[in-house]
Amino acid sequence: MVVTRRLFLAASLCVVLGAHAQERFITVASTTSTEQSGLFGYLLPIYEQQTSVKVRVVALGTGQALDVARRGDADVVFVHARTAEEKFLAEGHGVKRYPVMYNDFVLIGPKNDPAKVGGGKDIVVALKKLEAAKAPFVSRGDRSGTHMAELDLWKASGIDIDKTRGAWYRDTGQGMGPALNTAASMGAYILSDRGTWLAFKNRGDLTILVEGDKRLFNQYGVMLVNPVTHPSVKKALGQQFIDWIISPAGQRAIAGYKINGEQLFYPNAGDSNA
Amino acid sequence: MSDLSQAAAEALRLIVGGDPKLLDIVLLSLRVSLTAVVFACVVGLPLGATVAVSRFPGRRTVVVVLNAFMGLPPVVVGLLVYLLLSRAGPLGAMGLLFTPTAMVIAQAILITPIIAALSRQVVEDAWAEYRDQLRSLGERRFGAVMTMLWDLRFSLVIIVLAGFGRAAAEVGAVMIVGGNIDGVTRVMTTAIALETSKGDLPLALGLGIVLLTIVLALNAAADIVKDTAQRRYG
Amino acid sequence: MTSAMRAPRSLLPLRLDDVVFAIGVRRVIDRVSLTLEAGRRTVIVGPNGAGKSVLLRLCHGLLQPTSGTIAWNALELPGEPRRQAMVFQRPVLLRRSALANIVYALAVARVRTEHREARAREALRKVGLDPLATHPARVLSGGEQQRVALARAWALNPEVLFLDEPTANLDPGATHEIERVIGAMHAAGTKIVLVTHNLGQARRLGDEILFLHQGRLLERASADRFFKQPASPEAAQFLEGELPW
């Protein structure tokens, strides 16, 4: 009995450990919004078929993704919070930031729109109305790119959200999908990236109320984690992935991802201001 | 609730459809949790039995701690193992983070206290009956531990099943140390979490039903094996 | 193989000097001194609560005395095969076949692997149970289980065999079988130390009687004399069946 148990142990150990020993792969720390929009599910098989390099995406909030990279646990970061990314570079954890693509944020809310923000194109006006009406609003609260964009927009509206938040401001500390679930179940307003919204299936009573404002612009950037400060980083393979995603082929692939005929992300690697 | 009937339909579609991705996820879940259970038994069963048959200063504290650790929050274990295996951590050079091995480690840590604490109780309950006879024969601690474990094997089966159930059901630890990477570290529970957060509740529930079915089947199989063996040995 | 051939020094005589066993303030064994010699079958009798089982366990090493000394003629070192054995009132058998139970005991006693099964079968044969060798031990009847326990003890070829009320739960037929085996073991050279509350059994099996009462050894005599003329009033009352529990 003891012998068979030991054999089983050894066998399972081999199976578990050996499985990933052979293939070439990189680890990309990215955001839940990119994962949940389905972009990677579409993009990565194209890359993997061309290069035989597997891309393993760990999907976290932007803050957490950058932290994972700071610890050297990822080779590449692919997030959407420019300020945080530049801080990351300044700290010496990244090599160079390349703009990749953008999508936009949309203000989602209940169809019956108690705060009457719908139809407008001005996000600042809408946020002011929400705050005045103390309408229920769900925040990501998780240091993600979306969360940081939300905080920036409150600031742009002249609202000190830390001071005026009350029971109407629901700080959930969740990813985009769970936060949308929460908003749907309580009929609240929420800021979401368009990609996750388009892929989201549990909409309940929610719909897009405000969109198109330039300030709702959501830029994605990609960086190689610094192999000098983190020697375990797969420098060549990581750079190969970055090179592809900003290349015309990669950019075409990004533009090719659609849900119900609608494009989710707009490639803009050529835009040096992004 | 229409969600439930949709979920049942999804579950059926998944099981019958034989989706290869789903099969991969199921197999990985079983591999990870079963391996973790094996490790947990190798450590936990002798540990529990040894505490059961021994008297030493601080024994009560050990028992209390073992019992308390049964309630270790998976997400806390996940976090601790993550810090251990991260490149910035002490075992970073092994490159185990975001691999199934990391998940096995986290789950093994999670369920070893369960196996140890429960086997301690089972062995201790029986020890009163066995103690004098085994000592009379000249058995010493290690021999007594092994003999007790084998003699109580039918009662221990349910403990092993409890450990496996806990492992197969948890999501907190494997999410953190595995990263829920598609095709690499995505297991049933993290897949369910992902579909839930994407708002695809019928699919999430469907996966949940599949998971439950598998665990049920495993328990049924264990019961049959145990019953047959028990009838032979009494 | 007799004990004289196997061991350089016999375990016996066993000397108990002023042995006390107390639980809290209550003395279960109260300053007992005695010497157990080889040869004669020693039977310990007394009313319930006299401390008979405890005395047996003290001798066998399952309990440590609170004070006083228990000294064998030869030391049994920890880790070495035991040279004494004990049969309990309720047989404790493992969830294995009858044969496997005995083989297990032989393994603990570090008997060489190639000899174990043969010796185990021989022991089962001596107690008349070889047809049941492959039966799971725990599904056997009470009498059969006790015989397996006895066979297990016999297979170990002990110098001393302690028995704690071995037939208390058995019917007369099974009791007779057990007594037969005990007699055979004695004939083969094993010292018998038996606790019983069955006076008929004491008469049948005892060469000498130790009478225990409230933890004290009140009387020690040959069986003949004890049953004809008990020296102490308590013993007389006990034999009349008048002694309170």
How do residues A162-194 score in pLDDT, each as one tens digit? 888 888 999 988 888 889 999 999 999 999 988
Instruction: Say which of B136, B140, B143 has its CB closest to residue C85.
Output: B136
- How many domains in chain C? 1
Name the neighbours of C, counting chains with at least 3 Cβ pairs within 8 A: B
| Residues above pLDDT 70, as percent of chain B | 98
Distance of CA B104 to the CA centre of its chain: 10
Q: State the pLDDT at residue A1.
A: 46
> B-side interface with A, Cβ within 8 Å?
31-32, 34-35, 38-39, 41-42, 86-89, 92-93, 95, 97-101, 104, 150, 179-184, 194, 196-201
Domain that holds residue C109: 93-157
Residue C98 placed within a domain: yes
Residue C31 placed within a domain: no
Q: Which of A15-19, A215-219, C159-163 has the highest mean pLDDT?
A: C159-163
Q: State the pLDDT at residue A9.
A: 56
Local confidence band at A77 (pLDDT 50, 70, 90 cut-offs): very high
Q: Where are the alpha helices (DSSP H) in A27-94?
A: 32-36, 39-51, 62-70, 82-90
- Beta strand ranges found along chain A (DSSP E): 25-31, 54-60, 76-79, 94-110, 137-139, 169-171, 189-193, 206-210, 217-225, 258-259, 262-263, 266-267
C139 contact residues in B (CB cutoff 8 A): 234
Q: State the pLDDT at residue A8.
A: 53
Query: Are the Cβ atoms of B86 and A73 closer than 8 angstroms?
Result: yes
Q: Which residue of B has its CA nearest to A74?
A: B87
Instruction: Say which of A58, A177, A232 has its CB closest to residue B197.
Output: A177
Domains located in chain A, CATH noted: 24-103+219-267 (3.40.190.10), 104-216 (3.40.190.10)
Residue for token digits 């085994």? B134
Query: Among 3.40.120.10, 3.30.930.10, 3.30.390.30, 1.10.3720.10, what is the CATH number of B2-233?
Result: 1.10.3720.10
Instruction: Say which of B137, B150, B232 has its CB closest to residue C105.
Output: B137
Separation of alpha carbons C220 and A19, rounded Å:
76
How do residues B186-218 score in pLDDT, each as one tens digit?
999 999 998 888 878 888 888 898 899 999 999
Q: One-letter amino acid identity for A158?
A: G
How do residues C17-42 score in pLDDT, each as one tens digit?
999 999 999 999 999 999 999 999 99
Q: What share of chain A is helix, strand, coil (3-state, %, to 5)?
A: 45, 25, 30
Separation of alpha carbons A162 and B127, rounded Å:
62
Q: State the pLDDT at residue A223.
A: 96
Residue C211, pLDDT above cutoff 80: yes
How do residues B142-172 score in pLDDT, each as one tens digit?
999 999 999 999 999 999 999 999 999 999 9
Query: Do A and C touch (≥3 CB pairs < 8 Å)?
Result: no
The B residues from 137 to 196 touching C (CB cutoff 8 Å) are 137-140, 143, 147, 150-151, 153-154
B150 contact residues in A (CB cutoff 8 A): 1
How do residues C128-158 score in pLDDT, each as one tens digit?
999 999 999 999 999 999 999 999 999 999 9
Residue C97 placed within a domain: yes
Cβ of residue C123 closer than 8 Å to a chain B Cβ:
no
Query: Do B and A touch (≥3 CB pairs < 8 Å)?
Result: yes
Query: Are the Cβ atoms of B137 and C109 closer than 8 angstroms?
Result: yes
- Are C131 and C95 within 8 A, CB to CB? no
